[in-house]
Amino acid sequence: MPKGYWVSVYRAVFDAEKLAAYNELAGPAVRAGGGRLLARDGRVVAYEAGIVERTILIEFDSFEQAVAARESDAYQEALAVLSDAVERDFRIVEGLD
């Protein structure tokens, strides 16, 4: 079964305190949903007009598990805290195998 990945690239952070509060809730929610953090805030090289900002990569055992974690009550609570604190591109991607 193909794995699922959360890929989140932050274009801008407007409120660092809200982001920190979100992180406190999102981390446990992601782990409870079976997610494993693979990359966060490391070095980034952007090509083709890419944005060098905060980039997060989280792996799940399946695409369905990744979607369920995003839709979970715990993660929705984290998103409510985040609200308008950031501008980001968030997507869930199915792995190849």
Q: Is the pLDDT of residue 75 over 80?
A: yes
Angle between the N-to-C axes of helices 63-71 and 73-82, in degrees from 0 to 180, rounded to the nearest 10 = 60
Residue 68 sits at the vertex; the CA angle it makes with 42 and 70, to the nearest 5 degrees, is 45
Helix (H) or strand (E) holding 88: strand 86-94
- Residue 96 confidence (pLDDT): 95
Report residue 68 as tokens: 């369920």
Q: What SS3 state is found at 17? A: helix
* 47 compared with 5, residue with greater pLDDT: 5
Report residue 74 as tokens: 């715990």
36 Cβ neighbours under 8 A, 6+ residues apart: 58, 59, 60
- Residue 45 confidence (pLDDT): 80
Q: What would the pLDDT profile of 27-62 be if each residue is shown by its tens digit?
A: 999 999 999 999 998 888 878 877 777 899 999 999
**Domain architecture of the chain: domains with CATH:** 4-94 (3.30.70.100)
